Amino acid sequence: MSRFSWDPLKDIANQQRHGLRFSEVISVFDDPEAIDDYDAAHSHPSEDRWTTIGWCNGRCIVVRVTWTDRDPDVIRIISARFADVSETTLYRQRVKP
């Protein structure tokens, strides 16, 4: 069972920029059809980052998260936004081929 964490100031900034609170996007990780993709552009040697596209509260969203070796049971949310058209299309194609 994973725990979730985030920077409270980053959460406020994300709400202002994207209209999503980190606490409300946690359910994307319950989506059995969610698509996880390694985010090489934002990862670095001490921290792997991932992007998850999934369904949350009736909408398709994209969540950028990190898993670190320091505490593998904690998923740290970095950002969250609504999926764009191409991301939503990718999700729907993989869910209903």
Span 12-62, pLDDT tens digits: 999 999 999 999 999 888 899 999 888 888 888 888 888 899 988 888 888
pTM: 0.84
Single out the residue of 39, 37, 78, 34 nearest to residue 56, CA to CA.
Answer: 34
Q: Which domain holds residue 52?
A: 3-95
Q: Which amino acid is at 69?
A: D
- Give the integer Cα–Cα distance in Å for 50 and 24: 18
Is 88:60 a contact under the CB 8 Å cutoff? yes
Q: Tens digit of pLDDT for each residue in 67-97? A: 555 577 888 898 999 999 998 898 888 876 5
How many domains does the chain divide into? 1
